[in-house]
Amino acid sequence: MFEPLMTTSTIVFAFIFGLVSSLASHLLMKFLAKLPANPQTLPRGTMGLLPFFGETLGFLKPHSSNSLGTFLQDRCLRYGRVFKSHLFGSPAIVSCDFELNMFILQNEEKLFQAYYPKAMHGILGNYSLLVVSGDLHKKLRNTIVSFISLSKSQPKFLWCVEKLLISMIKSWNDRTEVAFFKEAKTLTLSFMVKSLLNIEPGEPLASEILEDFETYMKGFVSLPILIPGTSYYKAVKARKRLSSIVTEIIKERILKKQVGLGDDEDDFLDLILTKENLSDEEKLSIVLDILLGGYETTATLMALVVYFIGHAPHVFEILKEEHESIRQSKKDGEPLNWEDYKKMEFTYHVTCEAMRCGNVVKFVHRKALQDVKFKDILIPSGWKVFPIFTGVHVDQSLHDKPHEFNPWRWTDKEMRKKVTPFGGGPRLCPGADLAKVVIGFSLHHIVLNYRWKTKADDFPLAYPYVEFQRGLILEIEPASS
């Protein structure tokens, strides 16, 4: 006679199934409670199959960074450039519309507020410029802006950048291939660490910081599971190690100042330490934010510029002519200066076009602080809002042949009003100008020394942050050949 057996695995399965069902029901009720009473005023769209995950996985699916990707493209075709969705655990409005994006960015702290997933706070810390808001954001941002203003034209900083660039270029002698993205990351972090913390690039501590930053970045797009071995866990641990390193450097700097052993010339860390309106945690966070921006954003933009030039030989030739002219106006071995940078007009256009085509920042996270009506669109209070910068940069109504890399389009001064590569409003990236200076100096030495080609299967991917399929492997040869 047959009798059904309730095995341990069956009991566990039944328990888990009941728990998941209850949780799903609870989340569904919370989700429905957030919906406005009059959904007809919302943009069209779908919320996905599961209330919590919604369409997040499709939204984050990697794609070429100079395109919308299938998720956004399909929904823009189906629902228009503004649509509703369910992303990162919340009902959301997604905008690929330029006017709405500018409206959102310009109404920061009035109608909208930065609102990143809680898991990112574990990696960035509670005082990161990315997650704080209001007066605290203004205070921290002003401190960082002072660093940018102090550094970007300062001969000491410019010489540090150029010295490291020359060293990188010399290391390419007798090589036929270069993993450029890795080289760019090492370069940018090296001069930021030297300028900010006075750590020489060859020191073991500099290598430790670089390794931790690479681990740190991988955590941004990982599942927020704080279990040993996961990318998120490793990123949180890497952030703690970086915090410990910077904290020790700050303590040593304070001690040296107290006993009169400090350098006669103050650097930026000294300036931070003199600001009495900043707490120790805020000072630490400012240093980490500057290092992160200098490392990731600048290196990514540098790699994108080199990638697009590699696919545009005519751009390379014009660029080379500009830098030959600058070099001919200087003595042998004379370093570049701020006046030289201001002559790099075509270089500036190339950099801006690489930002538009490559999309260093694909989107930002915002939340509506109240019910917001824009034209005939309702954005309910509490909903997440995602201005998609890529959507604006590939918009045919704004840009002629938007997928074509064309630096000459930037001769039109109206172009800067049609793009948002570094955000906008009060949260415009404070490091954008510094990145452009570094790119200008980098291109000067690269185009005067080498030509290059990229691999056919090596292109920028949005993860959503930019990565290259193979690390941007360049096939190089001397420019003279």
Q: Three-state secondary structure along 310-356?
A: HCCHHHHHHHHHHHHHHHHCCCCCCCCCHHHHHCCHHHHHHHHHHHH
Task: Let me know if residue 266 belongs to a domain.
Answer: yes
Per-residue pLDDT, averaged over 243-258, amounts to: 88
Per-residue pLDDT, averaged over 381-392, amounts to: 96
Residue 423 predicted with pLDDT over 90: no
Task: Let me know if residue 48 belongs to a domain.
Answer: yes
The pair of structure tokens assigned to 372 is 């917001």
Q: Give the pLDDT score at 29.
A: 44
> pLDDT tens across 355-379, in order?
999 999 899 999 999 999 999 899 9
Task: Let me know if residue 109 belongs to a domain.
Answer: yes
Burial of 308 (0-12, 13-18, 19+ CB in 10 A): buried
> pLDDT tens across 187-223, in order?
998 988 888 888 888 889 988 888 888 888 777 767 7
Task: Let me know if residue 362 belongs to a domain.
Answer: yes
CB of 315 closer than 8 Å to CB of 349: no
Beta bridge partners of 45: 84
CB of 45 closer than 8 Å to CB of 378: no
CB of 420 closer than 8 Å to CB of 434: no
Q: Give the pLDDT score at 36.
A: 53
Specify the DSSP element, H or E, that contains 377. Answer: strand 377-379
Percent of the chain scoring above 90 in pLDDT: 52
Beta bridge partners of 63: 462
Q: Give the pLDDT score at 28.
A: 47
Task: Let me know if residue 354 belongs to a domain.
Answer: yes
Q: Give the pLDDT score at 21.
A: 42
What integer best gives the mean pLDDT of the chain? 86
Task: Let me know if residue 7 belongs to a domain.
Answer: no
Percent of the chain scoring above 70 in pLDDT: 90
Lowest average pLDDT, out of 3-12, 224-233, 262-271, 340-349, goes to 3-12
Per-residue pLDDT, averaged over 77-93, amounts to: 95
pLDDT tier for residue 262 given thresholds of 50, 70 and 90:
low
Specify the DSSP element, H or E, that contains 87. Answer: strand 82-87
64: domain CATH number? Answer: 1.10.630.10
pLDDT tier for residue 9 given thresholds of 50, 70 and 90:
very low
Q: Is 357 annotated as a binding residue?
A: no
- Centre a 10 Å sphere on the Cβ of residue 85 and count the other Cβ atoms it contains: 24
Specify the 3-state DSSP secondary structure of 50.
coil
The rounded distance, in Å, linking the Cα atoms of 338 and 470 is: 35
Instruction: Pick from 22-36, 134-148, 174-188 the range whose average pLDDT is largest.
Output: 174-188
Q: Give the pLDDT score at 481.
A: 65
Lowest average pLDDT, out of 30-34, 145-149, 447-451, goes to 30-34
Specify the 3-state DSSP secondary structure of 366.
strand
More confident of the two residues 8 and 289: 289
Per-residue pLDDT, averaged over 158-163, amounts to: 92
Place of tokens 């779908």: 46
> pLDDT tens across 216-249, in order?
877 776 777 888 888 889 989 999 999 999 999 9
Task: Let me know if residue 350 belongs to a domain.
Answer: yes
464: preceding bond cis by omega (within 30 degrees): yes
Task: Let me know if residue 20 belongs to a domain.
Answer: no
Q: Give the pLDDT score at 22.
A: 42
Per-residue pLDDT, averaged over 64-88, amounts to: 95
Per-residue pLDDT, averaged over 431-454, amounts to: 93
The rounded distance, in Å, linking the Cα atoms of 90 and 112 is: 15
Residue 264 predicted with pLDDT over 60: no
The domain total for the chain is: 1
pLDDT tier for residue 253 given thresholds of 50, 70 and 90:
confident
Its domain, for residue 148, covers 40-478
More confident of the two residues 455 and 32: 455
The rounded distance, in Å, linking the Cα atoms of 180 and 460 is: 13
The DSSP code sequence of 379-437 is E-TT-EEEEBHHHHHT-TTTSSSTTS--GGGGGSGGGGGS--BTB-GGG--TTHHHHHH
Per-residue pLDDT, averaged over 377-395, amounts to: 96
- Centre a 10 Å sphere on the Cβ of residue 89 and count the other Cβ atoms it contains: 17
The rounded distance, in Å, linking the Cα atoms of 117 and 230 is: 18
